[in-house]
């Protein structure tokens, strides 16, 4: 076994590898960029080496710097994690040429599966069922559309070198093909340096099921059963589970046999994931999509239901050892879910969020695991993806695991930046999800998951009380003439607190009484009493019931949690006024601004064009996702202030629109 390895990754990925290496007695070296100087993975590793500026292309993707770092600390092997260089055949070769061990498959296996078009041809030869489509070399728009027309709509455009949903577009009808092709090719060129695409038949209710495989250098290949990764947004996974709901032993045998055949066809060594797609509730007809030649983000659910440490297996195999277990020794036990907690706002088109984590917590428990590279006070950077952490929950069966997941999500909390916790909690409680009726269009088919619903009187009472107590603390010990508590001769008048949520001003009245207050919101009025307060945690009695909630104060922002739901609210003070309403993300009236730092990918209008409110004007790439920025008002494009490729800061002016006559 190795004595020291270098981990060529960051965040929760690096932390995950470090945890197993430490348990095995293997020393670890981490690498970090300028943005990660104080990141958790640098603190957990035995040592850490600086490799460059914040952008990944200038640090984590610099092959020569990674290898130089490994040599400088005497590492014998490099673990690429997942993402970044993990499926880069040139990197695997460079590691081997440097006399180091690449903890992953051989470069030839990465190459065989790296191009999705060639991989599908190879899989057909190996007898693995493949989705109908076009994988040819001709890449002109006319040829591609011709094949799409022949396959029949809807079709899926996929980047040949793609991954993580990038360079992928669903096309419903022929009239939309050209626009989606241009978008997919542009994103593919930006992300992978190659704009080649393939065309696949799009299944109307696709299930995304993948099989974990492992192979050693002695000719042994096994599977570790399947995972269902169908709950997705923008082709990126949201909640994964193992095993797949509705899977029969007959279909499992056929699917796992196909996965092993795929691995053997490319002389695979190490951890790999063979991804299949099936139609809705009928898993009998499944098709090969691609093979990820690395460990997957969702591997913890497989660990939970097999009791195995997949990173330990990776290290053993890379060290030349045989597989720790053969197929008949691997058992499937129980059920597990993984929910990806991301710094994004689903109600605003999944807009990524950056900033400092004021609070991040999930409940402790024997069936709960958190994989994360973040803690309170850490910064979520614009330079990398939006994943904060992965909540993994197990149980005796699917119902048991799902019940535990719902409770764990309801008790989890993020403050300081927006998160998708509300979406996750709602999805886990949706009847179709609870009964296993899921597919990749699940979120789109359940729009209530994304609804922005304001707090009720409980939430407003908590917010007003927190601000009232804050005011009292600020006034403590000051002159009574300087106090701003609304006291007056003849008795105190109610203090009216104003809060803005989703562009609406909510006025909440608090009237001091002998014991507590009387809170009034709209036409509701209830007695309010503070039962207990511990930092940002409150227990209140409202009417004849008690409620527990959290209020985190961040300048004028209030991060509120009551029960399983969380809100971001703007405090306007005791005499507040509602702010200007923003009609679109990044658009106020005749000005379109950048909602976050990023790179301009494309501009879809010209100066002088007449545009309608809501019309997409340009696309911005940030945190590994593309975002459409639309006009907030109808009118004429007066000025375009950026060009494709420009890096812009949050709030930068992008397009000016003159109101129509």
Other CB atoms within 10 Å distance of the CB of residue 333: 11
How far is Cα of residue 153 from the mean position of the Cα atoms in its chain?
A: 29
274 near 288, Cβ under 8 Å?
Answer: yes
CA angle centred on 655, ends 653 and 656, rounded to 5°: 100
247 near 256, Cβ under 8 Å?
Answer: no
What would the DSSP string read from start to end of 339-350?
Answer: EEEESEEGGGTT
Contacts of 438 (CB under 8 A, 6+ apart): 207, 228, 230, 231, 245, 432
What gap in Å lies between CA 429 and CA 566, rounded to an integer? 16
Kindly state the tokens that stand for 624: 């590994």
CA angle centred on 565, ends 424 and 355, rounded to 5°: 75
Active-site option among 166, 294, 558, 566? 294
Q: What three-state secondary structure class fits 6?
A: strand
550 near 537, Cβ under 8 Å?
Answer: yes
What gap in Å lies between CA 515 and CA 526, rounded to an integer? 13
Catalytic residue flag (residue 294): yes
Q: What does the buried/exposed string (b/e) look like for 7-34 if buried means 16 or more CB atoms within 10 Å of the residue's CB?
A: bbbbbbbbbbbbebbeeeebbbbbbbbe
Using left for φ > 0, alpha for ψ between -120 and 50, and beta otherwise, residue 395 falls in beta
What gap in Å lies between CA 299 and CA 227, rounded to an integer? 9
Kindly state the tokens that stand for 485: 């508590």
Other CB atoms within 10 Å distance of the CB of residue 470: 13
227 near 210, Cβ under 8 Å?
Answer: yes
- Helix ranges (DSSP H) in 307-361: 310-318
First to last CA, the chain: 75
Contacts of 557 (CB under 8 A, 6+ apart): 568, 569, 570, 571
Which residues does the annotation mark as catalytic? Answer: 294
């Amino acid at each position: 076994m190795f004595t020291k390895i270098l981990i060529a990754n960051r965040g929760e990925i690096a932390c995950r590898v470090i945890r197993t290496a430490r348990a095995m007695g293997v020393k670890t070296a981490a690498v970090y960029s300028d943005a990660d100087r104080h990141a958790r993975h640098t603190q957990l590793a035995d040592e850490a080496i600086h490799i460059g500026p914040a952008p990944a292309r200038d640090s984590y993707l610099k092959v020569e710097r990674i290898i130089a770092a490994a040599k400088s600390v005497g590492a014998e092997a490099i673990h690429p994690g997942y993402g970044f260089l993990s499926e880069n055949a040139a990197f695997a070769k460079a590691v081997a040429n440097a006399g180091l061990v690449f903890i992953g498959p051989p470069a030839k296996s990465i190459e065989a599966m790296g191009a999705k078009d060639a991989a599908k041809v190879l899989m057909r030869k190996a007898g693995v069922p493949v989705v109908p489509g076009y994988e040819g070399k001709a890449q002109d728009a006319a040829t591609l559309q011709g094949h799409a027309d022949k396959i029949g709509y809807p079709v899926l455009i996929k980047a040949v070198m793609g991954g993580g949903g990038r360079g992928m577009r669903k096309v419903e009808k022929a009239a939309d093909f050209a626009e989606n092709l241009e978008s997919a090719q542009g994103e593919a060129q930006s992300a992978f340096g190659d704009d080649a695409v393939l065309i696949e038949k799009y299944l109307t209710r696709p299930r995304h099921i993948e099989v974990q495989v492992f192979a050693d250098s002695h000719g042994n290949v096994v599977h570790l059963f399947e995972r269902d990764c169908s709950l997705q947004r923008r082709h990126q996974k949201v909640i994964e589970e193992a095993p797949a709901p509705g899977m029969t032993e007959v279909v499992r045998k056929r699917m796992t046999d196909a996965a092993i055949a795929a691995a053997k066809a490319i002389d695979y060594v190490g951890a790999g994931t063979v991804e299949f797609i099936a139609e809705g509730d009928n898993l009998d007809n499944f098709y090969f999509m691609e093979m990820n030649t690395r460990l997957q983000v969702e591997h913890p659910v497989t660990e939970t239901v097999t009791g195995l440490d997949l990173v330990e297996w990776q290290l053993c195999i890379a060290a030349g050892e045989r597989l720790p277990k053969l197929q008949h020794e691997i058992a499937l036990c129980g059920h597990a879910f993984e929910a990806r907690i991301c710094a994004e706002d689903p109600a605003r088109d999944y807009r990524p969020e950056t900033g400092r984590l004021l609070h991040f917590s999930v409940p402790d428990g024997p069936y709960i695991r958190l994989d994360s590279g973040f803690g309170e006070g850490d910064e979520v950077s614009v330079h990398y993806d939006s994943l904060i952490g992965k909540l993994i929950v197990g149980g005796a069966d699917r119902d048991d695991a799902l019940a535990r997941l719902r409770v764990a999500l309801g008790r989890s909390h993020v403050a300081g930046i927006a998160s998708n916790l509300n979406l996750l909690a709602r999805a886990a409680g949706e009847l179709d999800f609870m009964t296993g009726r899921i597919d990749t269009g699940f979120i789109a088919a359940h729009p209530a998951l994304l609804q922005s619903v304001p707090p009720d009187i409980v939430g407003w009472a908590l917010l007003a009380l927190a601000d009232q107590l804050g005011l009292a603390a600020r006034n403590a010990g000051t002159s009574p003439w300087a106090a701003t508590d609304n006291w007056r001769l003849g008795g105190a008048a109610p203090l009216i607190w104003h809060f803005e949520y989703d562009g609406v001003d909510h006025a909440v009245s608090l009237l001091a009484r002998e014991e507590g207050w009387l809170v009034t919101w709209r036409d509701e009025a209830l007695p309010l009493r503070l039962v207990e307060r511990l930092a940002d945690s409150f227990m209140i009695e409202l009417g004849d019931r008690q409620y527990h909630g959290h209020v985190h104060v961040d300048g004028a922002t209030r991060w509120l949690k009551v029960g399983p739901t969380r809100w971001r609210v703007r405090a306007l003070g005791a005499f507040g006024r509602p702010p200007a309403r923003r009609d679109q993300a990044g658009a106020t009236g005749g000005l379109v601004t950048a909602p976050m730092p990023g790179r301009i990918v494309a501009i879809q209008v010209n100066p002088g064009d007449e545009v309608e409110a809501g019309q997409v004007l340009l696309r911005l790439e940030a945190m590994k996702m593309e975002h459409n920025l639309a006009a907030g008002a109808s009118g004429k494009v007066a000025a375009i202030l950026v060009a494709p490729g420009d890096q812009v800061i949050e709030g930068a002016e992008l397009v000016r629109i003159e109101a129509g006559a």
